[in-house]
């Protein structure tokens, strides 16, 4: 989430951001492959992801807090492309990130958007 936040705030290439994070001593705890995939694929699919978020948020992307925007982008990508990750896990992780890094009531907004988006992004069988 922090890397995607940095990308959306600075416009820095994802490859440069990835190198910066790899140098951090705490990065050893991260799943490097998954991190790289998210950092590469979320920016590459931003138009589709943003359209989905806007449909379910009822506001433009510019009106969404930057932290919550990064969290929603990750979660929408995971809901659409990472079918092996249960949708409840995706939503729960997004809510927890929102509670930790977002605005005071931001987790409620994130939960609302994702509860709506999951109906579009996951088939009925992948929601069970």
Instruction: Return the CATH number at 52.
Output: 1.10.940.10
| Domain range enclosing 77 | 2-9+35-127
Q: What is the CA radius of gyration of the chain?
A: 14
Which pair of structure tokens corresponds to residue 80? Answer: 């659409």
pLDDT at 11: 94
What's residue 125's pLDDT?
53
Average pLDDT for the chain: 92
Domains identified in the chain, total number = 1
Measured CA to CA, the distance from residue 59 to residue 36 in angstroms comes to 29
pLDDT tens, 47-79?
999 999 999 999 999 999 999 999 999 999 999
pLDDT at residue 107, rounded to an integer: 96
* Residue 46 C-alpha from the chain's centroid: 11
pLDDT greater than 80 at residue 19: yes
């Amino acid at each position: 989430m922090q890397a995607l936040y940095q990308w959306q705030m600075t416009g820095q290439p994802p490859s440069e951001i990835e190198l910066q994070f790899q140098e951090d001593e705490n990065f050893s705890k991260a799943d490097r492959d998954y991190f790289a995939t998210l950092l590469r694929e979320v920016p590459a699919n931003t138009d589709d992801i943003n359209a989905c978020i806007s449909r379910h948020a009822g506001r433009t992307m510019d009106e969404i807090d930057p932290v919550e925007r990064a969290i929603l982008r990750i979660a929408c990508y995971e809901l659409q492309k990472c079918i092996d990750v249960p949708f409840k896990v995706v939503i729960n992780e997004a809510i927890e990130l929102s509670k930790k890094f977002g605005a005071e009531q931001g987790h409620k907004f994130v939960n609302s958007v994702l509860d709506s988006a999951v109906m579009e992004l996951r088939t009925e069988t992948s929601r069970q």
